[in-house]
Structure 1
Amino acid sequence: MFTSDLRERFRSGGYLPLPGLLQPDGLARLRAEVTRLEKLATRRDLTMSCMGDSPRHMTVLGGRVIAEESELIPNLYRDRRLITLLAWIAGIDAEPVRDPLERYVVNILHRPGDTHGAHTDDYPLALVLFADAPADAADGGLLEYAPHTPTLDALDTPAVRTARHDPGDAYLLRSDTTAHRVTPLRRPGIRRSVVNFAYTTAGHQQPLTESAALLY
C-alpha cells in the first residue's frame, strides 16, 4: 500500500490523500469521540485580517481541552507507527509539536456558510482525519490548495486544486508552504468534522502565534 510513489506524489503537490486510513471500527470510535467532545467546543465567527480578511465560521476545540478530556485522540496523535509513516512520506524527521494548544484540534463545519478560510500553518505537516464529510461535492466542504505556494492569493487563480474526502479518509498536507482553505457549506443538514494533527521537526518548534490563539 505504501510505496515510493506516495513520496513522489506528496513531494510534487504538497498534498497526499489517504483514503480509508480509518477502518470502519476506527472511524466509529473517532466519530463517537468527536460527538462526545463537541459539547465542549467553542463557536468562532470572525475574520482573520492577518490572513488577508480570511473568514472563520466554524466550531472548534483546541488541544488543551482535548488533552484533558480525551484519551483516544492524544494516543492516536503519538502513535509511533503513524509518525514513522508520515515522516517517511514527507521525507523529514517528523515529531510531535511541543505546544499543547497546537498539537491537535477538532474543527466542525455544520451550518450553511461555515468555512475555514485561506491560510497556511505554523508547522510543516498537517494530517487531517475525517469523522464526517459532505457526500456531494456540490454541498461544499472541499479542500482547496495551491501546491508549493504559500501566497494566499494563489487560491483564486488557476493554480488552485480541489479535493473531496469521505468519512474515514485522511490527507497529509505540507501545510506551512501550501496555501489552503475549506469551501463553505452550501445547505443545511450537512456536516464536516475533522481532527487535525500538526507535526513538526526538532528545529521548527515555533511558539504559538497570536493569530492561531484567536481560534481556540
Structure 2
Amino acid sequence: MTETEEAFLQLQPDEFHATGGTDDWRVLFWGAQAFYRTDSFAQAAAFVGDIAQAAAAVGHDPDVDVRPEGVAIKTFTRADGALSRADADLAVAVSAAAHARGLVADPSVLSVVGIAVAQDAGIDVRPFFESVFGYVRVGEEDLIDPLRRGPHLWFHELTPPKPGRGRTHIDFSVPRDVAGERMQAALAHGGRVVGDGEIMPQTWTVASPENHGVDIAGWADSMA
C-alpha cells in the first residue's frame, strides 16, 4: 500500500479526535467541521487563502463557507461523510493556520440538518423527492444536494405501517458537547423527550408542544 492510499483509509471519529491538533473540530453527519470567528469579511477571505494552501499541501480539498462572522470548514473523504487520515491532516493544518492568525474556534454553532422521510414497506418515494429537490442518491437510503448545501433526506420504513400517510421529522446533528444543552433548552420551551431517553449516546428524540419530531443527535461525534 502506498503512502497516498494509506492516507485515504477510513478513519473512525474517535481516531480523528485522538489526532493531536484537532481539538477545534467536531464530527457531524457528512464529515468533520470547524468554525472560526472573524472580525470582517476581508479577514475571513484572507483566512480562506490559508485554507487553500493547507489543502494543496495535504492534497485534499474541503468545503468552505465564508461569512463576515467567520469561516466554516467541512472535510470528508467518501460521499457518505466517512473520514480518512487525510481529513485529520487537513484539520490539523487548517487549525494551525487559524491559530497563527489569532482566530478562535466556536464549535457551538456547528450543525447539520436532515429530513427523515418515512415510507410504507415496499414503497420507494425517493424518485419523487429526487425530482423535486434535484438531489443525488448516496447508498440505499439517502439523497443529498450535489453541492452539499441543503439538508440531506433520509428514507426509512414507517413503523407501524400506515399506507398513504407520509411522515417526516427533522434530524439535527450537533457536537456531542452541545447536544444535551440543546435538549434541555427544548424541554424548557415546552418540548418533551419521546420514549425512554437517550436512543444513542448524546442523542434524544424530542417533540414540540404541537408534536413536531426532532432528533437531537450527538452520536456522530463519538461513535465508530
Q: TM class by shorter-chain length?
A: under 0.3
What's the TM-score, normalizing by structure 2? 0.26
Q: Which has the higher contact order (CA 8 A, sep 6+)?
A: 1
Max Rg structure: 2
What's the TM-score, normalizing by structure 1? 0.26
